Amino acid sequence: MSGVIRHVTISGRVQGVGYRAWVDEQANSRGLEGWVRNRRDGSVEAVFAGPEAVVADMIAACWRGPSSALVDSVQAGAGSSDLLNLRGAGERFALLPTL
């Protein structure tokens, strides 16, 4: 993997609206590596890895989300290979269980 790794938390009405499936589809269509999962606090957490411009575009898209979502905030920070490796071996992009 070359490029950047970003750790992202999305808050608002982002659970029960297909947000994780939307992130999975969007990330795969951009060729990104990483994962997405719901959190018990009602937010969605994701890690995106790939070329800097593509990752930045994905983070910007997280503000829109699927049509039934209502995003209040998107917080992005540096990610790490340890975070990226929470996905299963051989998976490019994964939907992880709720944490």
Active site (catalytic) residues: 20, 38
Element (H, E) at 94: strand 93-95
Residues in the chain, total:
99
> Taking the mean position of all CA atoms in its chain, how far away is CA 40?
16
CA gap 8, 48 in Å, rounded: 8
Residues 6+ apart with CB under 8 A from 91: 35
Q: Which of 85, 69, 90, 89 is nearest to 12 (CA)?
A: 69
